[in-house]
Amino acid sequence: MYIEEFWDFVVWYMDKNRPLPPGTAFDPYREADFQRRKAEGFPKPLYGSIIETPEA
């Protein structure tokens, strides 16, 4: 994995304005995270990333 790809994954995980990354580890938190972002009007991501994410 290139450093840019690693950084983009870290940004994806840490950016509170992006949906949670895929995977079962995040499933218990996914709905609450979606509802929080929805209530905030789906704000734009805090950081740029080459990884496309829904609502970003």
Q: How far apart are CA 46 and CA 1, in angstroms?
A: 23
10 Å CB burial of residue 18 (0-12, 13-18, 19+) is: buried
Q: What global pTM score does this model have?
A: 0.74
- pLDDT, residue 1, reads 60
- pLDDT, residue 30, reads 94
Q: What is the mean pLDDT of each run of 10 residues along the chain (56 residues)?
A: 80 89 91 96 88 71
- pLDDT, residue 36, reads 97
- pLDDT, residue 50, reads 81
CA atoms within 13 A on the CB side of 19: 15
